[in-house]
Amino acid sequence: MPQHLIRKLEQFTRLSASNRQAVVNTATQKVRFLGAHQDIISEGDAPEHVNLILEGWAYRYKQLEDGRRQIISFFLPGDLCDPHVFVLREMDHAIGTITPVRLAEIHRDQMLRLTDEHPRITQALWWETLVTAAIQREWTVNLGQRTGLERIGHLLCELFIRLRGVGLTEGDSCLLPVTQVELGDATGLSNVHVNRVLQELRASGLIVLRGKRLSIPDLRALQAVAQFNVNYLHLDREGRHLDANESERVSA
């Protein structure tokens, strides 16, 4: 069930029962399971469908010929790997799994039917696309201007808040299945530098890392250290208060 996507879209606006059922019908027709560290789609492949992450973590990346890798974004449960990717002739980047992943393959015809028949879902997807672009801009600032401590702290704040938005946090903690190498590839830092930053964050009491679980005892304090402003995630959007059922009754 694509409950995480539904919850994510409803951060923007309330969906009607028919909207939710349309999402469920679209996202349950073809489901794939992949193990950890596999490509969902590789650079150069011709995309024919949209991938929706149902369970697990994935990432978008570019790899240079000499093997160096830049992680460009992380995909969490409820994330669509580019709603309109099927307009491309070939992929200019790759998407790989971090953990075992369950995903829905949504064919272009299904995606077009969903957006044509459900304008409220289309509006929510516009918002989702704009937030994705805002996250990418923030990652650019991270790489270009923030210190190593700020980069890691900022990324941890973002991941925690995104997970909280789809109901995947427990109090002040969440799963963090990424390795130090993957954190480094996402923030432009060496493994040694990442390790040093994590030790500093631990020593100052800003984070607790046990295995693959992250706890942030004082989120505001970590946000202050990382110069994290949540506004780019656009969590209090106009339209969130709208009731889709009421709107449908008025239209009828």
What confidence tens digit (pLDDT) does each residue in 120-159 have? Answer: 999 999 888 899 999 999 999 999 999 999 999 999 999 9
Model pTM greater than 0.75?
yes
Q: Are 75 and 59 in contact (CB under 8 A)?
A: yes
Burial of 137 (0-12, 13-18, 19+ CB in 10 A): exposed
Is the per-residue pLDDT at 248 higher than 80?
no
- Separation in Å, CA 103 to CA 34, 77, 115, 162, 186: 8, 9, 20, 18, 22
Q: What is the mean pLDDT of residues 45-56?
A: 91
Name the residue among 181, 177, 194 with its Cα closest to residue 69: 181
For 50, phi then psi, to 5°, come to -95, 135
- Exposure string over 103-114, b if 16+ CB within 10 A, otherwise e: bbbbeeebbeeb
How far is Cα 98 from Cα 78, in angstroms, rounded to an integer? 15
pLDDT score for 157:
98
Model confidence pLDDT, tens digit, residues 74-104: 999 999 987 777 677 788 899 999 999 999 9
